[in-house]
């Protein structure tokens, strides 16, 4: 039984009908926003000088799916990054997942991971090149993000483990170019707690923030309805990030549905910073109702929200409730 809503949320969506939201603040002073569109058919980019300005910023379609082929359907969870690996040209990269169709095989869609890249300065006007990003495991995979640490670049993503029950686990590998990895994928976490296995066994949507001597990975778990929620991994900044033993995992979700104020299924987060750089900002999607007709994937009303992250005396993030600023 889902509890009844008894009060109004204290926040409104930043952008409606945009799931899997990603906001990146670049050195040019602009915030860049990209997300899954309800049609799952294109990559749409916008930018503004403020976070609030993204809501009304011009939408630029930088890529549209072809009618057929391996990346012709279900364009999911894009992120835009500016990647500068030593000895290589600074590169804009849009990482996303796509499938050849909506056919289910072995209980899963057929997504693989791709990247659009360009060395042009302005990604809204760029010429893009498409590349498949091969993880070395030929199974359902999605939700890639990248980050730099101690001069090295890392690729972090969700994938079906060939010998692991469920939909997806989180893996990490070092990168040698903006579109390729070196070494074997390293398993960081798989669904194991009760709150990670509701509806589906899912760990997905990783995002990285570095603060207070630690690296934190926010990720999402369970089915994409009101059970969807955020988990948290962390490691010491001096630890080997490719060693699973370096990472600890919260036994409880760090952001979950607020039934009292009616914000449901918060997750698939990213991180950005305030305009003056003084505050860390959580970016996530959520719905404002629980009664969904059919599969939640076809419900368009996952909206983009932002909220300020508080940091406690132990140096850990406190995300509060999704209904609060």
Active site residues: 20, 204
Q: Are 228 and 220 in contact (CB under 8 A)?
A: yes
DSSP, res 37: -
Separation between Cα atoms, residue 181 and residue 311, nearest integer Å: 33
Q: Are 325 and 305 in contact (CB under 8 A)?
A: no
Cα 235 to Cα 280, 298, 315, distances in angstroms = 19, 36, 12
Separation between Cα atoms, residue 306 and residue 285, nearest integer Å: 9
Alpha-carbon Rg for the chain in angstroms? 18
- 214: helix, strand or coil: strand
Q: Are 111 and 142 in contact (CB under 8 A)?
A: yes
DSSP, res 57: S
Cα 108 to Cα 45, 141, 251, distances in angstroms = 28, 10, 27
Residue among 12, 1, 17, 14 at smallest CA distance from 298: 17
Q: At 197, give phi and psi (nearest 5°).
A: -130, 25
Give the total residue count for the chain: 325
DSSP, res 238: T
Q: Which residues pair with 202 in a beta bridge?
A: 168
Query: Which run of H or of E encompasses 43?
Result: strand 42-48
């Amino acid at each position: 039984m889902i509890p009844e809503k008894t009060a109004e949320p204290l926040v409104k969506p930043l952008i409606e009908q945009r799931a899997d939201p990603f906001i990146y603040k670049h050195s040019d002073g602009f915030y860049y926003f990209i997300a899954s569109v309800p049609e799952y058919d294109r990559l749409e980019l916008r930018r503004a000088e403020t976070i609030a300005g993204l809501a009304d910023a011009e939408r630029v379609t930088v890529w549209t799916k072809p009618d057929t082929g391996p990346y012709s359907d279900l364009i999911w969870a894009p992120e835009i990054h500016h990647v500068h690996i030593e000895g290589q040209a600074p590169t804009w990269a849009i990482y996303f997942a796509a499938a050849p169709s909506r056919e289910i095989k072995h209980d899963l869609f057929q997504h693989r991971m791709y990247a659009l890249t360009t060395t042009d300065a302005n990604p809204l006007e760029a010429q893009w090149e498409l590349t498949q990003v091969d993880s070395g495991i030929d199974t359902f995979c999605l939700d890639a993000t990248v980050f730099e640490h101690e001069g090295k670049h890392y690729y972090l993503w969700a994938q079906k483990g060939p010998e692991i029950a469920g939909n997806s686990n989180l893996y990490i590998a070092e990168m040698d170019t903006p579109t390729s990895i070196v070494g074997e994928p390293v398993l960081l976490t798989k669904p194991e707690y009760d709150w990670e296995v509701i509806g589906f066994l899912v760990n997905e949507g990783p995002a990285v923030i570095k603060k207070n001597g630690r690296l934190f990975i926010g990720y999402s778990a369970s089915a994409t309805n009101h059970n969807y929620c955020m988990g948290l991994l962390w490691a010491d900044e001096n630890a080997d990030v490719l060693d699973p033993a370096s990472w600890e995992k919260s036994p409880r979700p760090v952001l979950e549905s607020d039934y009292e104020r009616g914000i449901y299924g918060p997750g698939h987060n990213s991180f950005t910073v305030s305009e003056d750089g003084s505050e860390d900002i959580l970016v996530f999607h959520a719905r404002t109702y629980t009664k969904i007709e059919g599969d939640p994937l076809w419900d368009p009303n996952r909206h983009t929200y932002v909220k300020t992250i508080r940091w406690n005396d132990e140096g850990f993030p406190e995300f509060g409730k999704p209904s609060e600023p």
